[in-house]
Amino acid sequence: MGLQRENLTSVSTSKVGHNLTGTLPTELTELPFLQLIFVAYNQLTGTIPAAYGDMRYLMSLQVQYNLLTSTIPEEIYTGSNVLQELNIGGNLMTGTLDTRVGTLRELKGLYIFENGFDGEFPTEIGNLDLLAYMRVDANDFSGLVPSELGALTQLVELWLMENEFTSTIPTELGQLSRLTDLRLSTNQITGTIPEELFDLNALKFLQLEQNKLTGTLSTSVVQLSKLLSLRVNDNALTAVIPSELQYVSTIGQIWIMYNQFTGEVPLGICNLYVTSQAPQGLESLSADCDGNPPPNVCTCCSTCCDRVDKICY
């Protein structure tokens, strides 16, 4: 029995990398029950058709890694849709993220990474109480990291790195009890690391490197009992490196170089290295243990860096 065109619920390339060219077809709107459009990893050009906003059953639009331009059409926000996943990452899109993004109340995944979006990030993002995954990295967003992100209690992954954010880290992020992956690196973020972040018991990745953070690395880091990666390098953190890190037995990566830490790297951290008895242990430890004299003597670092010359060995 032949498949009736009007009953189609998905349009997808059978595998990625088909090198499809041309533009996104507006004819897809003639499929009234379409739920999924997946045409990622091709060479499609042009814009996202405004008519896609009128597809009342469309739940997933995945057009990542093409050559699409312009911005997200306003009809995506105003149409009668039930969109749960919007993935336009890795394109050539520009403009601001419309405040009406807060009307996409069914959205669970927002992926707009590796584009040219700019301007301030809309606070209305806090209305998306089902959002679990948000990757907006490698754009040109500026201004505040919205405190409203703290209302997204379903959030598991939050990637804001490689933008131009200039605010402090909102303490409200400490309310995201499901968060496993927080990446704020390579911005212009100032202030201290909020104590509230160390309440995130599910956190596996905490990456804050290449900002303008000051203050200390709290001894409360020991509360991150599932942490796999800690990267706070290239900031202006001071005081001693907390010995409590030796009790985070899950950690595989510690990057603390290019700061203003004083004293030795605690010897107890060396006991975290991978062994036959602990195959999931520490694999990478980088600190300012080079120089004359080295600011942070370390007997077990996998990489020693010179904080003056910005060279690692």
Q: Which domains does the chain have, with CATH numbers?
A: 5-236 (3.80.10.10), 237-313 (no CATH)
The answer to whether the Cα torsion of 88, 160, 175, 98 is positive or negative is negative
Q: How many C-beta neighbours within 10 Å does residue 279 have?
A: 7
Report the helix count and the strand count for the chain, using DSSP H and E.
Answer: 1, 20
Which residues are within 8 A (CB) of 32 and not within 5 positions of it... i.e. 6 or more apart? 6, 56, 57
The pLDDT of residue 273 is 94
Q: How much is the mean pLDDT over the chain?
A: 94
Q: Per this entry, what is the length of the chain?
A: 313
**3-state SS class at 174:** helix
**Token pair listed for 274:** 């991978």
Residues forming a β-bridge with 255: 231, 286
> Phi and psi dihedrals of 151, rounded to 5?
-85, -10
At 95-145, the pLDDT tens digits run: 999 999 999 999 999 999 999 999 999 999 999 999 999 999 999 999 999
Burial class (CB in 10 A: 0-12, 13-18, 19+), 186: buried
The pLDDT of residue 8 is 82
The pLDDT of residue 79 is 85
The answer to whether the Cα torsion of 278, 280, 284, 288 is positive or negative is negative
Q: Which helix (H) or strand (E) holds 111?
A: strand 109-111
The pLDDT of residue 301 is 98
What b/e sequence results for 126-162 when a residue is b if at least 16 CB atoms lie within 10 Å of its CB, and e otherwise? Answer: bbbeebbbbbbbbbebbeebbbbbbbbeebbbbbbbb
Q: Which helix (H) or strand (E) holds 76?
A: helix 75-78
The pLDDT of residue 267 is 96
> Phi and psi dihedrals of 282, rounded to 5?
-65, 135
Low-confidence ranges of the chain (pLDDT < 70): 1-6, 13-17, 276-279
> Phi and psi dihedrals of 149, rounded to 5?
-60, -25
**3-state SS class at 243:** helix
